[in-house]
């Protein structure tokens, strides 16, 4: 009886984790550059003293869907979309280099070029600092140019160049912060062949219909596992009543 109860209990717990993964995908369906997480279940034996006669269900995120989102034209000057399999280099919260496809850029109050979630965009020598300007332009190769305050239209100044990288998908992994890094650590080399599309964003690659179907399936699976736990309890009570002295 304990086998039945343990399997149902672990299955219910892992189903809740799978639902959290699907919820996260749905919550980011409109987030620029977001890549959805894949999910799977598998059985794992419980190792310890004696033979592994017990198993439990395990939910895991085996990979990320690296399919490129669609190109959506926004008309905003600081919106950029990386073509094909490229990435923008950004500075993560821990200060290390990470990679993202989120291209809704802006200049913050400190004069830094940042993404929509306030991560500094990296250039040739670190975060890109923008001096006071009247107009800013980002070229197809990532070159950031400005028209300084008080300058004529012909007096453009090249500030820096956004670091664009294109490592192999198999070399990358997604962190809990939603950013990507090289599996072995370190930093990817800048790829001069990568190109940007100005005035556009890469959409999320989340398939809302598929995620909703998964949510319904997971909800039904959770209900079934709770019923199994209830059945195990009823069976244990019935067995106990049989051997109970009159």
Q: Which two tokens stand for residue 200?
A: 């556009």
d(CA 45, CA 116) in angstroms, rounded, equals 44
Radius of gyration of the chain (CA): 25
- At 75, is the secondary structure helix, strand, or coil? coil
Closest CA to 104 of 92, 126, 121, 129: 121
Mean pLDDT of 35-48: 83
Per-range mean pLDDT, top range of 126-135, 147-156, 234-243: 126-135
The region of weakest confidence among 10-14, 26-30, 96-100, 165-169 is 10-14
Which of the 8 DSSP states describes residue 119? P
d(CA 13, CA 5) in angstroms, rounded, equals 12
CA 110 vs CA 33, 118, 127, 148: distances in Å: 25, 11, 11, 17
What proportion of the chain, given as a percentage, has pLDDT over 90? 58
d(CA 205, CA 79) in angstroms, rounded, equals 18
Return mean pLDDT, the chain. 88
Backbone dihedral angles phi then psi of residue 134, each to the nearest 5 degrees: -100, -30
Mean pLDDT of 181-193: 91
d(CA 89, CA 163) in angstroms, rounded, equals 6
Contacts of 123 (CB under 8 A, 6+ apart): 144, 159, 160, 161, 162, 163
Query: How far from the centroid of its chain's Cα atoms is residue 44's Cα?
Result: 26
Mean pLDDT of 127-156: 87
Residue 223: the pLDDT is 92
Backbone dihedral angles phi then psi of residue 74, each to the nearest 5 degrees: -110, -25
CB distance 175 to 96 below 8 Å: no
d(CA 191, CA 197) in angstroms, rounded, equals 16
- Give domain limits for the chain: 2-65+206-243, 71-202
Query: How far from the centroid of its chain's Cα atoms is residue 46's Cα?
Result: 31
- At 236, is the secondary structure helix, strand, or coil? helix
pTM: 0.82
pLDDT level of residue 245 (50, 70, 90 thresholds): low
Element housing 106 (H / E): strand 106-107
Residue 148: the pLDDT is 87
């Amino acid at each position: 009886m304990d086998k039945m109860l343990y399997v149902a209990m672990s299955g219910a717990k892992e189903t809740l984790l799978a639902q959290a993964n699907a919820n996260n995908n749905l919550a980011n369906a409109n987030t620029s550059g977001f890549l959805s997480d894949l999910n799977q279940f598998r059985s794992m034996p419980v190792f310890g003293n004696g033979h592994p006669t017990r198993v439990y269900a395990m939910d895991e995120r085996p990979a990320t869907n690296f399919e490129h989102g669609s190109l959506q034209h926004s008309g905003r000057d600081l919106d950029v979309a990386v073509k094909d399999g490229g990435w923008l280099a950004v500075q993560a919260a821990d200060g290390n280099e990470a990679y993202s496809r989120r291209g809704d850029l802006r200049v913050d109050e400190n004069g830094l070029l940042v993404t929509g979630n306030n991560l500094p965009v990296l250039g040739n020598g670190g975060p890109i600092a923008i001096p006071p300007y009247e107009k800013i332009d980002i070229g197809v190769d990532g070159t950031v140019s400005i028209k300084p305050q008080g300058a004529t239209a012909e007096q453009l100044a090249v500030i820096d160049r956004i670091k664009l990288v294109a490592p192999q998908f198999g070399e990358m992994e997604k962190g809990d912060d939603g950013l990507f890094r090289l599996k072995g650590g370190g930093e990817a080399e800048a790829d001069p062949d990568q190109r940007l599309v100005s005035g556009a964003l890469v959409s999320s690659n989340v398939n809302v219909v598929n995620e909703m179907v998964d949510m319904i399936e997971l909800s039904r699976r959770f209900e079934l596992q709770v019923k199994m736990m209830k059945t195990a309890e009823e069976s244990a009570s019935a067995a106990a009543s049989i051997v109970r002295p009159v």
